[in-house]
Structure 1
Amino acid sequence: MLVPFEVRHFLDRAATVYGARTGVVDEPDQPAAPRQDLTYARVAELARAQAAALDAMGIGFGERVAIVSHNSARLLTSFFGVSGYGRILVPVNFRLSTDEVSYIVEDSGARLLLVDPALEDQLKGVRAERTIVLGEGGDAEMYRFGVDPEPWEPDENATATINYTSGTTARPKGVELTHRNLWVNATTFAMHAGANDRDVYLHTLPMFHANGWGMPYGMTGVGAKHVVLRQVDGAEILRRVEEHGVTIMCAAPAVVSAVLTAAKDWDGEIPGRGRVRIVVAGAPPPTRTIAQIETELGWEFLQIYGLTETAPLLTVNRRRAEWDDLSPEDRAAKLGRAGAPALGATIRLSGDGEVLARSNVVMTGYRNKPEETAAQLRDGWFHTGDGGVIDDDGYLTISDRRKDVIITGGENVSSIEVEDTLFSHPAVAEVAVIGVPDEKWGETIKALVVLAPEAEVGEADLIAHCKAHLARYKAPTSVEFREPLARTAAGKLQKFKLREQYWEGHGRQVN
C-alpha cells in the first residue's frame, strides 16, 4: 500500500487525537486582533475554512498564495489551510523591502497576498490580484465557514511551499519543496529532537524561515503546544519559558546570545533549567557559548545543519551518552560540529572539499531557474556550496562558505545583491562584500569599496544607501575604502583571500 505523504497529515492527527487540547497560544500583542488560543480542533476548522475561501476566490490547486507576516496563529494555520488543501504557500521574510517582496510575489506568480497589519502601509505598492490584511478585519475574506472545501487528490511530489532564499545571484531564488520533502523533514526532525505530546514549543524562529525548519508540522503532529512569539527579546523568551512551561525552541546564534545576556539580569532561578532543549543552526556558536547554555542556563544544546534547499535538516548534533563524563567545555567542543547525518541523509565531500548531500528532503529545484537547478543538483548530489571536513566518527564540521552567502543573525544575505546595490551609487567604482566575524551576529557584513576618480562619499552615506534599497539587515555594518582590489589574472576577485585577514585566529571562515 502506498499512501502519499501530505502536510495535512500532521494536523489531521492532532485534531483526531488532541482535538480538545490547546494547540496554539497566539502572541498577546498581535495587531488588529485579540489573542487567539486555539484548540487543535479549531486549528483544523480554520484550515478547512481557509481552503473553502480559496475555492470561492477561484484559487485552484497548484496556485500560489504569498504571506508576509510576523509569527502569528494565522500564519501557522496557513501552512495547513493553503498547502494542506493543494495550493502552494509562499512564506515571505517580513524584513524585506517593498521592492524585494514585489519581486517574490511576481516571480512566484502568487494570485493572493496575505499581509501582516503592521506591514500594510509599507507593502501597499506590492501588486497582487487580491490582498488580504491579516486580523479580524480580513477574517471574513480569509475564512469561509460551514462549507466543505473542494477535495484535493494528494500528490506527495506536488510543490507544497516555495521558500525564497538569498543565494549567489542578485535576486532571491524560489526553492520548491514538495509534500514529501516537508513530511520527511518534519518527521525526522521531530524524532531527532525527541518531540512528544508533553512538549511546549516556543516559536523564537520566524515561521517564514524554511517553514520554521519544519517545526510547525512536526510539533503539530505529536500534539505539542505552540507558543507564538512575535518579536525576539532575550528577557521575553525567558518570561515565556517560565509562563508556559516551554520545553523546546529553535534559534539562530544571535538569539542564544540574547538569552544568555538576559539571564545575567534575571531575578531568581533561570526558567526551564533541566527541561529546555534549544536547537541552533545558521552558524556554529562559539564553544564558550555552547558551554554557557549548559552551565548558566541549564538547557540542552542541539545543533543542526542544513539549507532552505534541504527543508532544511541534513545533520544533527545532540549530546550522547558517551559524552556524559566529559567536562562542559569538552562536551561543547564536540557539540560545536554541524553533526552526523540525519536519518535518511547521506553526506560526503567532493574532491575539493565541498559538502554534498542526498536525501528525501532535497528540493525539486528553483522556480523558473533550470540552469541553476541543474548546477545545484548535478551528478545525483545536492551541492551545498559549503566546505567541510568529516571526522572519523562521521560528524561533519563546516569549515568555510564557498558560495557568496553571508549568514548574519541566522539570515542569509547574498553578497552579490549587496554589491549590486553599492554599485548603483555613483561614487563606487569597485566593491567586494564579505562576511567578517561578529560576537553577537556570528557574521556581519563588510564592504570593501574603491571609489570612482574624484568621488567623495562617507561610510555612513553608503550604509544609508543600502538601507534605502534593501532590507536593513542586508546593509553593511562597516565600509572599508581600498585602492583597486586585487584580482586574479582572469580578473576575478578571490573573496577567500579578502576574508583571510579578518578571520585570522579563527579555525574556520564561518562563525
Structure 2
Amino acid sequence: MYLTQGLHRAVQQAPERLATVDGERRRSYRELADRCARLAGGLTGLGVQAGDRVAILAANCDYHAEYFLGLWWMGAVANAVNTRWNVKEMAYSLNDSEAEILLVSGAFLPMVETLKARCPGLRHVLHLGKTPCTHADGPAGMIHYEDFLARATPVEDGRFGGDHLAVLLYTGGTTGFPKGVMLSHDNLWSCAITRLAESDPPDPFVTLLASPLFHTAGVAKFITQIVVGGTAVMMPSFRVEEVLATIEREKITDVILVPSMIQMLVDHPEVREYDLSSLTRVAYGASPISLAVLERALAVFPDAQFTHTYGMTEASPMITLNSWRNHRGEALSNGRIRSAGKATWGMEVRIVDEDDREVPRGTVGEVVARGDNVMLGYWNNPDATAETLRGGWLHTGDGGYMDEDGYIYIVDRMKDMIVSGGENVYCAEVENVLARHPAVASCAVIGIPHDTWGESVHAVVVTQSGVEVSAEELTDFCRGDLAGYKCPRSVEFRDSLPLSGAGKVLKQELREPYWRGRARRVS
C-alpha cells in the first residue's frame, strides 16, 4: 500500500481527467503526476532525503495536492502547519519536526522572517506564487516555486509505502505543547479504503475540500479522492456564499463538514436560490449534529446521504461511522441518530473501565480502538505514545457506552478537551497561558455549550488579592501565545475554585450549571 498508487492508476486510465480545481486553474492527472515528479526531483536537489520533513503553510490550494503526493513520491514526510495558529505555535511545530524546507503562500509571507528567526533549522523557503510568474514575483531570499518546478528534473516514484512515515499532524496537548501524530502510508490508505467500503463513491466523484488540509479529516478526504481518481475542488476558507456557489458551479457530489458549517449553510437566507442538486453525499464529524439542524439540512439537500464519522487524528481519523440509513425515517425518532455509529470495517472498538477491562453493554467507560489506521505513535514522545497506545489499544479519552447492537454513544470526555467549531482545544494549554498573567492567582478552563460552535472556551479565574483585571485583557493576553479559537470567549471571576481533598480542581462542579439537563456532556 502506497499513497501515490491512485495517482498512477488515474494517469493510466484517464490522464486528462480533472485532478484539481483551484479557482480558474484546473489541472489534469497527467499534469499533476508530472509536477509531483518534478517537485520530488527539485527537493532531492536541495538535499531532501526519504524520511526528511517538509512543511507547508498555506490555505487549501492545488499546491497541496502536489505537495503531499510529491513528498510521498520521494518518501519525505509532510507537516502541514495549522494556518489558524499564531507564529509561536507554528515555529514550535517546525522546530519539533526538524523541518528544513517550508512552502509558504502569499498570505503568510509576513510571518516568514519571524519564522526563520525562530527556526534556525529552516534552510530554504519556497514561495507559492502566481502562474505564470517571473523572478520578480518571489520575495528576496526565497525560491519561487514555479521557477523551481520548471528547472527541476523529474525523478521516478520510489513507491514508498507500508509503515513508512507519511505525515506529521500536530494536535494540542495536555502538557501545553502540541504533539506530532505520526501516520504511515498504511494508516492513511487503510482508512481511505475503509471509508470506500462503507458506501460506494458517487459517480462522478467531485469533492469540495472545505475542511483544512492541516487537519486529518481534510487529508483523509484528499487521499480518498486520489484513490478513486476523482476531482478535488479546493476551498481556501469556509465562506458560506462561496461554498454554495461552488457546489452549483462545479457540480460537487461529495463534501465533509463539521456541524457548525452545515448549520451556516442551511440557515443562509438565500440557500434556496442555488442549484445544489448535484450533492449526493455529506459526511460530518468532530461533534454530533442536532436533530433540528439535521432536519433543515435534509430539506435543503433532499438527495444527499448524510453520514457521521467519529474519530481522531491518531486514527487517521475514522473509528466509527453512523450510516446514512440512520439519518432518515425511524432512526430520527428511535435515538440512533444520536449515536456515533458502529466500528468501521477493519476496526475493533471496546468500552473499558479504568483498568482497561471491557464493561457490560450500556455501561459508560472509555472508548478504545485498534486497527491498521491507528497511528505509529507521537513524534519524539515515547511516554505519551506508551500511555495512549497501552495494551495495543488506542485510548481515545472519550467516555461513552455501547448498546446491544454495537452502536457507540459518546457522552463525555475523559480527557480535558473542548471541541469548538471542529477544532480541538486542550484546557491545560489555555490554563498554562492564563496562569502567567500577573493578575491571575489560579484558573480553570472548561467547555460550555454554544449554539453555533458546539462548545465555547470558558475560563474561571481567581485574581490575586486586591488586583483587578478585565475579561478582555485576559483574552488579549492569551492571543499573544495562542490561536484565536483557543482563547477564552467568556471569563467568570470567583473568589476560589472548588478543590478535591487532593487539591485537584473539581471541573465537573464548574461545568454542571452549564450542562444541567442535557443527555450528554459534549456538544
How high is the TM-score relative to the length of structure 2?
0.91
Residues of 2 paired with 1:38 and 1:325: CA distance? 41
Residues of 2 paired with 1:335 and 1:111: CA distance? 46
**1:304 equivalent in alignment to 2:328:** no
Structure 2 matches for 1:251-400, cutoff 5 A? 251-262=257-268, 264-268=269-273, 270-273=274-277, 275-298=279-302, 299-320=304-325, 325-326=329-330, 329-330=332-333, 333-352=335-354, 353-400=365-412
Q: Aligned AA for 1:206?
A: P
Q: Look up the match of 2:243.
A: 237
Q: Look up the match of 2:465.
A: 453
Q: Are the aligned partners of 1:304 and 1:313 in contact in 2 as well (CA < 8 Å)?
A: yes
Measured after TM superposition, the shift of residue 424 of structure 1 is 1.3
Secondary structure of the equivalent of 1:385?
Answer: strand
Q: Look up the match of 1:11.
A: 7
Q: Aligned AA for 1:171?
A: F
Secondary structure of the equivalent of 2:409?
Answer: strand
1:104 to 87, 90, 93: 93
Residues of 2 paired with 1:493 and 1:83: CA distance? 45
TM-superposition CA deviations, 1:337-381 (whole Å, max 9, x none): 111111100110112500000110100100110000000000111
Q: Are the aligned partners of 1:66 and 1:92 in contact in 2 as well (CA < 8 Å)?
A: yes
Residues of 1 paired with 2:94 and 2:145: CA distance? 21
Measured after TM superposition, the shift of residue 497 of structure 1 is 2.8
Q: Are the aligned partners of 1:428 and 1:452 in contact in 2 as well (CA < 8 Å)?
A: yes
**1:115 equivalent in alignment to 2:104:** yes
Q: Look up the match of 1:31.
A: none
Residues of 1 paired with 2:298 and 2:305: CA distance? 6
TM-superposition CA deviations, 1:374-417 (whole Å, max 9, x none): 00000111100000111111111111011111111001111111
Measured after TM superposition, the shift of residue 286 of structure 1 is 1.2
Q: Look up the match of 1:32.
A: none
Q: Look up the match of 2:124.
A: 130
Residues of 2 paired with 1:134 and 1:357: CA distance? 39
Measured after TM superposition, the shift of residue 480 of structure 1 is 0.4
Q: Look up the match of 1:203.
A: 209
Q: Look up the match of 2:233.
A: 227
Residues of 2 paired with 1:233 and 1:124: CA distance? 29
Residues of 2 paired with 1:48 and 1:430: CA distance? 54
**1:50 equivalent in alignment to 2:77:** no
The range that moved more, 287-296 or 380-389, is 287-296
Q: Aligned AA for 1:349?
A: I
Measured after TM superposition, the shift of residue 68 of structure 1 is 1.3
1:152 to 124, 134, 158: 158
Residues of 2 paired with 1:494 and 1:347: CA distance? 30
Measured after TM superposition, the shift of residue 432 of structure 1 is 0.5
Return closer, same or farther for 1:385/1:493 CA change in 2, 3 Å cut-off. same
TM-superposition CA deviations, 1:265-307 (whole Å, max 9, x none): 3353x53347432111111111221222112332332100010
Secondary structure of the equivalent of 2:267?
Answer: helix
Measured after TM superposition, the shift of residue 99 of structure 1 is 0.5
Equivalences, count: 495
Q: Aligned AA for 2:340?
A: A
Residues of 1 paired with 2:195 and 2:311: CA distance? 11
Structure 2 matches for 1:78-93, cutoff 5 A? 78-93=67-82
Q: Are the aligned partners of 1:167 and 1:404 in contact in 2 as well (CA < 8 Å)?
A: no
Measured after TM superposition, the shift of residue 213 of structure 1 is 4.6
Q: Are the aligned partners of 1:11 and 1:217 in contact in 2 as well (CA < 8 Å)?
A: no
Q: Are the aligned partners of 1:200 and 1:245 in contact in 2 as well (CA < 8 Å)?
A: yes
Q: Aligned AA for 2:451?
A: E
TM-superposition CA deviations, 1:140-162 (whole Å, max 9, x none): 45425662326536341111000
Q: Are the aligned partners of 1:50 and 1:144 in contact in 2 as well (CA < 8 Å)?
A: no
Q: Aligned AA for 1:489?
A: G
**1:464 equivalent in alignment to 2:468:** no
Q: Look up the match of 2:183.
A: 177
Residues of 1 paired with 2:126 and 2:191: CA distance? 30
Q: Are the aligned partners of 1:293 and 1:300 in contact in 2 as well (CA < 8 Å)?
A: no
Return closer, same or farther for 1:36/1:267 CA change in 2, 3 Å cut-off. same
Measured after TM superposition, the shift of residue 336 of structure 1 is 2.8
Residues of 1 paired with 2:425 and 2:297: CA distance? 27
Aligned CA RMSD, in angstroms, stands at 1.8
Structure 2: any 5+ residue segments left out of the alignment? 117-121, 131-137, 139-143, 355-364
Q: Aligned AA for 2:103?
A: L
Residues of 2 paired with 1:83 and 1:315: CA distance? 27
Secondary structure of the equivalent of 2:300?
Answer: helix
Residues of 1 paired with 2:93 and 2:148: CA distance? 21
Residues of 2 paired with 1:95 and 1:265: CA distance? 29
Residues of 2 paired with 1:193 and 1:115: CA distance? 36
Q: Look up the match of 2:145.
A: 139
1:504 to 507, 516, 519: 516
TM-superposition CA deviations, 1:304-325 (whole Å, max 9, x none): 00100110011111122x8864
TM-superposition CA deviations, 1:19-51 (whole Å, max 9, x none): 11111111x2xxxxxx42100111111111110
Residues of 2 paired with 1:234 and 1:330: CA distance? 30
Q: Are the aligned partners of 2:327 and 2:337 in contact in 1 as well (CA < 8 Å)?
A: no
Q: Aligned AA for 1:64?
A: R
Secondary structure of the equivalent of 2:44?
Answer: helix
Q: Are the aligned partners of 1:68 and 1:115 in contact in 2 as well (CA < 8 Å)?
A: yes
Q: Are the aligned partners of 1:53 and 1:144 in contact in 2 as well (CA < 8 Å)?
A: no
Q: Aligned AA for 1:194?
A: D
How high is the TM-score relative to the length of structure 1?
0.93
Structure 1: any 5+ residue segments left out of the alignment? 29-34
Residues of 2 paired with 1:326 and 1:97: CA distance? 46
Secondary structure of the equivalent of 2:115?
Answer: coil
**1:480 equivalent in alignment to 2:473:** no
Secondary structure of the equivalent of 1:124?
Answer: helix
Secondary structure of the equivalent of 1:131?
Answer: strand
Q: Aligned AA for 1:131?
A: V
TM-superposition CA deviations, 1:246-282 (whole Å, max 9, x none): 11101111111110121x33353x5334743211111
Residues of 2 paired with 1:141 and 1:396: CA distance? 51
